[in-house]
């Protein structure tokens, strides 16, 4: 409807071009040409909650009882804080876990704001099945950030939040039973190379005795990772079996599959 109001069939190409400058007012074909990807200028420090992790990775609590769990590139997710509070053995690692909690909390708040401003430019890339509306999801991101920050500050001596920069992890071989990684690999495939993906996944498998799970498998443009076939072949040549497994979760349109890796 908005498209028709802005662009009657009688308007010419110059007016169309000017209309595009109005940006977010426009919907339909022209707005999609203007931006068809979530335009994040950085790998953002925003995090999901424990229950979102269970849904994304199709996990139930009996899976978490099997041994130690690592959340790789965990950012301000509250998965580790909440899992620990429930009595599971969880560890989080991220390249930014060397900064004071106030710095991380400030960055987290800024990145939530940046991300959802950009999400508003590309509403067609998302489906509202799991989340009711924008406010609910922003609330969950702040809830995760708050729980992460409290845990990060309190548990320094127990070492549940470890600084680690992929493609290297500072853990001995087979330390964990399950390694999870969400919203890092594949999502930022426009700026992280295929070699980086292969090396990071091999490293996650090195520190894991069981299974690695990664979600989502789509880029910021909601398109499937373009090098998946080659990636799986390269991992297979290293003795690792990758499988694309459906999950019951979807927010980014079409992102309802995770990668599982085993030996
Ligand atoms: C969008 S957050 C994902 C947070 C969490 N996994 C979740 O889904 O809720 C991406 C995270 O990747 C981290 N990161 C970026 N490059 C990294 C690297 N080379 N090694 C480890 N972490 C990295 C960032 O610091 C950021 O916290």
Please state, rounded to an integer, the average pLDDT across all residues of the chain. Answer: 87
Res 47: pLDDT: 98
Would the CB of 161 count as within 6 Å of ligand 1? Answer: no
Pocket test for ligand 1, best of 38, 41, 42, 43 (most atoms within 8 A of CB): 43
Say if residues 78 and 170 touch (Cβ distance below 8 Å): no
CATH 3.40.50.150 intervals, the chain: 50-262
Res 42: pLDDT: 82
- Do β-strands 176-182 and 69-72 pair in parallel, antiparallel, or remain unpaired? parallel
Res 157: pLDDT: 62
Across the range 112-121, mean pLDDT stands at 90
> Which of 16-20, 59-63, 189-193, 230-234 is predicted with the least confidence, judged by mean pLDDT?
16-20
For residue 106, is pLDDT > 70? Answer: yes
Across the range 78-84, mean pLDDT stands at 97
Distance from Cα 156 to the centre of ligand 1, integer Å: 19
Tens digits of residue pLDDT in 218-263: 999 999 999 999 999 999 999 999 999 999 899 999 999 999 999 9
Identify the CATH class of 50-262.
alpha beta
Distance from Cα 142 to the centre of ligand 1, integer Å: 16
Would the CB of 259 count as within 6 Å of ligand 1? Answer: no
Across the range 180-201, mean pLDDT stands at 97
Would the CB of 197 count as within 6 Å of ligand 1? Answer: no
For residue 34, is pLDDT > 80? Answer: no
Would the CB of 183 count as within 6 Å of ligand 1? Answer: yes
Would the CB of 200 count as within 6 Å of ligand 1? Answer: no
Across the range 151-178, mean pLDDT stands at 92
Distance from Cα 236 to the centre of ligand 1, integer Å: 25
Q: Which is it for the CA torsion 177, 241, 239, 166, positive or negative?
A: negative
Q: Tell me the whole-structure pTM to 2 decimals.
A: 0.87
Distance from Cα 200 to the centre of ligand 1, integer Å: 12
Query: How many C-alpha atoms does 213 have within 13 Å on its Cβ side?
Result: 22
For 126, list phi and psi in degrees, rounded to 5.
Answer: -130, 150
Would the CB of 182 count as within 6 Å of ligand 1? Answer: yes
- State the Cα–Cα distance between residues 216 and 48, nearest whole angstrom: 13
Instruction: Name the pLDDT band for 159 (thresholds 50, 70, 90).
Output: confident
């Amino acid at each position: 409807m908005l498209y028709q109001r802005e662009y009657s069939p009688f308007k010419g190409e110059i007016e169309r071009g000017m209309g595009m400058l109005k940006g977010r007012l426009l919907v339909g074909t022209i707005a999609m040409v203007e931006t068809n990807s979530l335009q994040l200028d950085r790998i953002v420090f925003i995090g999901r909650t424990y229950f979102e992790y269970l849904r994304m990775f199709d996990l139930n609590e009996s899976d978490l009882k099997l041994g130690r769990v690592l959340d790789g590139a965990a950012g301000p997710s509250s998965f580790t804080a909440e899992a620990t509070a429930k009595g599971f053995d969880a560890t989080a690692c991220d390249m930014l876990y060397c900064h004071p909690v106030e710095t991380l909390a400030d960055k987290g708040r800024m990145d939530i704001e940046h991300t959802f401003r950009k999400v508003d430019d590309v509403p067609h890339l998302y489906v509202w099945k799991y989340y009711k509306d924008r406010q609910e999801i922003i609330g969950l991101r702040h809830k995760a950030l708050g729980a992460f920050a409290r845990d990060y500050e309190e548990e320094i001596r127990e070492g549940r939040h470890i600084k680690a920069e992929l493609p290297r992890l500072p853990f001995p071989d087979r330390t964990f039973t399950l390694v999870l990684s969400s919203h890092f690999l594949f999502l930022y495939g426009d700026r992280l190379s295929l070699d980086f993906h292969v090396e990071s996944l091999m490293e996650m498998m090195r520190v894991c005795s069981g299974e690695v799970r990664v979600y989502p498998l789509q880029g910021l443009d909601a398109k499937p990772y373009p090098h998946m076939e080659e990636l799986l072949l390269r991992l297979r040549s290293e003795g690792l079996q990758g499988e694309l497994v459906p999950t019951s979760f979807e927010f980014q349109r079409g992102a309802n599959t995770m990668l599982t890796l085993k030996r």
